[in-house]
């Protein structure tokens, strides 16, 4: 009997799953997840990603059982698995969601398309986000996003299940895949059940803190939705999250305006989710190269391993930066502002090229989503050519968002002994004061690697000098046409940044 394969990727759910729904309309389906060793050997892969994936697969397995299906988890490289399956039990069609992943998944999808053509297998691909394949420019992009999120969510289909024609051993361990041992102790766990419960607690309760709570690293862990890993692995569909949020806004009483503002701002971020992924979809090279190629050579040849190692070890000497690294190591998550600050510190005073910094952070962020990640890295490093330089001063950020030092003292125990007067610049304590409070700068807490003001000024001058060159300016229009946002839904504010094509990403309310 002819059957279809549904190839699950980062879309680990059965609800609102276009590939599964349409394959089921056609007849029996084999539900396949393929653990690809080559993908897990990539430098952006991490053990925590694999653990989250396995947890999500467990939920998916149970969900598929409930609707008559059976998840088959196979290990190997996709064309080889397809070949083996096709020889033993030929199939007529392959169903999957489009994926905007890293360079390897891009090349792998081209190979799968080739394989399908050669074997006369029809490959049906569906958009799972408001991201458009083969987009010409951004003029109608917002309309498309609205159309995507506004469609009816697809129901869970009843499945006629097909089994694998061979016995497959259990998936490999992280160790067998060669993944480093480290996983954050307090990371979020995978699966649709948990994703739905995080969504529920956000919509019904925590969204009340979104307004005003998302910038400080103290309030952000509960004020932010914390949905990012569930969206990145597709445990929840973007459309269902947007629709549930809109429904919640509609149900709020008239005096719920603070909550409404928070929920509307949250929807803008779901829009940005796709806006940024679209950049990588339209320009896969931005994972490796400067979006504006006129910036090539800006930092690449000045690599400073000592700066990089100090950053990774949380020993830059700026307490807020080092505390963020400690929190990231423990939780796999940081809020937007702290992520932007980390990259800004790396790119400006420490003058580090964004690519190795981005690879390190890709492994640290549980929610690593290549399209958002690499676009953001370049934006914060100032290499897109279209965004005004945004440089975050880690001392000012600490004064604004952790004025009492609760955050830095939580994550850097030695800071608990530093008197309030020296909280933001502990390296200025004299040896006498250090001795009195029992903290040695350079030992218990790091000494800044560079003079922040001087290093930042020099870095900005280099970027501005390049930016001012006529040929660099001239190349900007093409990038704006291809990548810049035209309008953000729900935004009434205009700003210089917006006019230059930059979204304001963590505006205060």
Ligand X SMILES: Cc1cc2nc3c(=O)[nH]c(=O)nc-3n(C[C@H](O)[C@H](O)[C@H](O)COP(=O)(O)OP(=O)(O)OC[C@H]3O[C@@H](n4cnc5c(N)ncnc54)[C@H](O)[C@@H]3O)c2cc1C
Contact positions vs ligand X (CB under 6 A):
214, 224-228, 231-232, 266, 269-270, 272-273, 276, 335-336, 339-340, 343, 365, 367-369, 372-373, 376-377, 380, 505
- DSSP line for 338-355: HHHHHHHHHHTTT---HH
- Smallest gap from Cβ 273 to ligand X, in A, equals 4
Task: CB nearer to ligand X: give 75 or 225.
Answer: 225
Q: How far apart are CA 51 and CA 327, in angstroms?
A: 19
| Complex with ligand X: residue 78 or 357, whichever CB lies closer | 357
For residue 96, the minimal CB distance to ligand X (Å) is: 21
Give, as one character, the DSSP assignment of residue 174. Answer: T
Residue 149 contacts residue 242 (beta carbons within 8 Å): yes
Tell me whether residue 91 or residue 368 sits nearer to ligand X (CB atom). Answer: 368
If the CB atoms of residues 56 and 434 are measured against ligand X, the closer one turns out to be 56
C-alpha separations of 401 from 383, 395, 414, 448, 456 in Å: 27, 10, 20, 20, 21
Of 67 and 267, CB closest to ligand X: 267
Q: How far is the CB of 219 from ligand X (least distance, A)?
A: 12
User: Least CB distance from residue 198 to ligand X, whole Å?
Assistant: 9
Instruction: Report the residue number, 214 or 484, with the smaller CB distance to ligand X.
Output: 214
Tokens 């304001």 belong to 504
CB nearer ligand X, residue 35 or residue 377: 377
If the CB atoms of residues 216 and 225 are measured against ligand X, the closer one turns out to be: 225
DSSP reduced 3-state for 393: coil
Minimal distance, residue 244 CB to ligand X, in Å: 13
- Of 98, 100, 102, 103, nearest in space to 113 by CA: 98
Main-chain dihedrals φ then ψ at residue 243, nearest 5 degrees: -65, -40
Whole-number Cα distances in Å, 202 to 72, 199, 312: 33, 5, 31
Least distance from ligand X to the Cβ atom of residue 49, Å: 11
Instruction: Give the separation between CA 61 and CA 84, rounded to whole angstroms.
Output: 23
C-alpha 87, offset from chain centre: 38
**Distance of closest approach, residue 376 Cβ to ligand X, in angstroms:** 4
Element housing 331 (H / E): helix 319-331
**Strand 4-8's sheet: what is its strand order?**
71-75, 29-35, 4-8, 93-97, 122-126
* Residue whose CB is less far from ligand X, 106 or 336: 336
Q: Which of residues 112 and 340 has its CB atom nearest to ligand X in the complex? A: 340
Q: How far apart are the first and last CA of the chain?
A: 59
* Nearest-angstrom CA–CA distance, 323 and 438: 19
- Taking the complex as a whole, the smallest distance from the CB of residue 356 to ligand X amounts, in Å, to 13
Distances (CA, A) of 345 to 49, 148, 407: 26, 37, 18
- Return the closest-CA partner of residue 280 out of 463, 474, 30, 483: 483
Shorter beta-carbon distance to ligand X: residue 78 or 198 = 198
User: Please, what is the minimum distance in Å from the beta carbon of residue 61 to ligand X?
Assistant: 25
Rounded to whole angstroms, the Cα distance separating 260 from 266 reads 10
Q: How far is the CB of 341 from ligand X (least distance, A)?
A: 8
The C-alpha atoms of residue 175 and residue 460 are separated, in whole angstroms, by 43
Report in angstroms how near the CB of residue 421 gets to ligand X at its nearest: 31
What distance in Å separates the CA atoms of residue 12 and residue 33, rounded to the nearest whole number?
Answer: 9
């Amino acid at each position: 009997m002819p059957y279809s394969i549904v190839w699950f990727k980062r879309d680990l759910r059965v609800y609102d799953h276009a590939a599964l729904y349409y394959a089921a309309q056609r007849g029996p389906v084999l539900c396949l997840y393929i653990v690809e060793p080559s993908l897990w050997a990539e430098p952006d892969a991490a053990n925590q990603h694999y653990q989250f994936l396995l947890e999500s697969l467990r939920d998916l397995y149970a969900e598929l059982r409930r609707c008559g299906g059976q998840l088959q988890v196979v290990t190997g490289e996709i064309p080889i698995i397809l070949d083996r399956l096709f020889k033993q039990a030929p199939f007529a069609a392959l169903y999957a969601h489009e994926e905007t992943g890293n360079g390897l998944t891009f090349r792998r999808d081209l190979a799968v398309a080739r394989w399908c053509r050669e074997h006369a297998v029809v490959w049906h691909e569906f958009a799972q986000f408001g991201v458009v394949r083969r987009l010409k420019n951004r003029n109608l992009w917002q309309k498309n996003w609205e159309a995507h999120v506004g469609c009816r969510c697809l129901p869970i289909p009843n499945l006629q299940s097909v089994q694998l024609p061979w016995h497959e051993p259990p998936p490999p361990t992280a160790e067998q895949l060669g993944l480093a041992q480290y996983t954050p102790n307090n990371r979020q766990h995978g699966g649709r059940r948990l994703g739905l419960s995080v969504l529920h607690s956000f919509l019904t309760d925590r969204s009340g803190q979104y307004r005003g709570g998302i910038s400080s690293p103290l309030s952000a862990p509960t004020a932010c939705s914390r949905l990012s890993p569930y969206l990145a692995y597709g445990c929840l569909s973007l459309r269902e999250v947007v629709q549930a949020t809109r429904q919640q806004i509609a149900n709020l009483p008239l005096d719920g305006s603070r909550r409404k503002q928070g929920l509307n701002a949250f929807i803008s971020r779901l829009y940005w989710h796709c806006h940024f992924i679209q950049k990588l979809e339209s320009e896969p090279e931005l994972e490796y190269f400067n979006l504006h190629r006129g910036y090539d050579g800006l930092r690449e040849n000045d690599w400073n391993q000592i700066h990089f190692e100090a950053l990774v070890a949380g020993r830059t000497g700026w307490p807020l930066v080092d505390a963020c690294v400690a929190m990231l190591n423990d939780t796999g998550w940081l809020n937007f502002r702290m992520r932007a600050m980390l990259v800004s510190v790396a790119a400006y005073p420490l003058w580090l090229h964004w690519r190795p910094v981005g690879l390190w952070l890709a492994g640290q962020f549980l929610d690593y989503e290549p399209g958002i990640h690499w676009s953001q890295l370049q934006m914060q490093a100032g290499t897109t050519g279209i965004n005004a330089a945004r440089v975050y001063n880690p001392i000012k950020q600490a004064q604004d968002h952790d004025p009492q030092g609760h955050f830095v003292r939580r994550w850097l125990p030695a800071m608990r002994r530093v008197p309030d007067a020296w909280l933001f610049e502990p390296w200025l304590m004299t040896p006498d004061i250090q001795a009195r409070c029992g903290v040695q700068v350079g030992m218990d807490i790091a000494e800044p690697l560079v003079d922040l003001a001087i290093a930042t000024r020099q870095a900005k001058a280099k970027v501005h000098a390049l930016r001012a060159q006529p040929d660099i300016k001239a190349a900007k229009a093409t990038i704006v046409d291809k990548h810049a946002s035209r309008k953000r839904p729900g935004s009434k504010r205009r700003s210089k940044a917006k006019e230059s094509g930059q979204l304001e990403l963590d505006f205060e309310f």
